[in-house]
Amino acid sequence: MTNSPDAVSVEAVRSHAGLRAVAVLPLLPTLWLGMILAISFVEAPLKFQAPGITIPLGLGIGRLVFTALNIVEIALALATVVTLLVGRRSSTVHESRAGGLTWSLVAAVIVLLLKVVWVRPLLNARSDVIVAGGDPGPSLLHSAYVVLECLQVAALIVVIVFAVRLLLDAARAHALTARDTNSSPRS
């Protein structure tokens, strides 16, 4: 490899891509968390307080909204995983922080899968019965969904904390490298 200004090493490209990924990393789970908080903890309970809303209509709206939320959650989870993988390839990433972020992200994704694969289909079946005029009887499914949402919120907060720490570490390392590069004698 030559020392010309136009020559860019693979490692430099990987480092810059990793730094950009680490810079984006806190944004994705923050958006994911904000959507959960807004929809699950604000929109869902308020919907049934709207004048003229019936339970079947509210359930139909809820089903549409939560289906859309889950689709966006899956997209954000995938984007976060890909961004983390790209960021981990950077030499500026501390493995201990990346490990904590990885495990908390795994927890958030597992909870998402439990909601989408287990609880939502059961809730949809119950809402079908109610919309058809039936009474499915008492159930703890809504409580289970709320518990899962709370667990996911906690996991995402931990993901965000680790992602911000990772970003700060990477920025410090990048600044030190830039300072050392600028202060080294030129030959």
Least confident of 12-21, 29-38, 40-49, 99-108: 12-21
pLDDT tens digit sequence for 67-122: 999 999 999 999 999 999 888 776 556 676 788 999 999 999 999 999 999 999 99
Beta carbons within 8 Å of 25's beta carbon, 6+ residues apart? 80, 83, 84, 87, 101, 163, 166, 167
CA distance 150 to 45: 15
Can you tell me the mean pLDDT for 44-52? 91
Alpha carbon separation from 68 to 39, 115, 133, 177 (Å, rounded): 10, 13, 25, 44
Residue where the block lists tokens 């927890």: 107
Instruction: Tell me how far apart the alpha carbons of residues 90 and 64 are, in angstroms, rounded to a whole number.
Output: 40
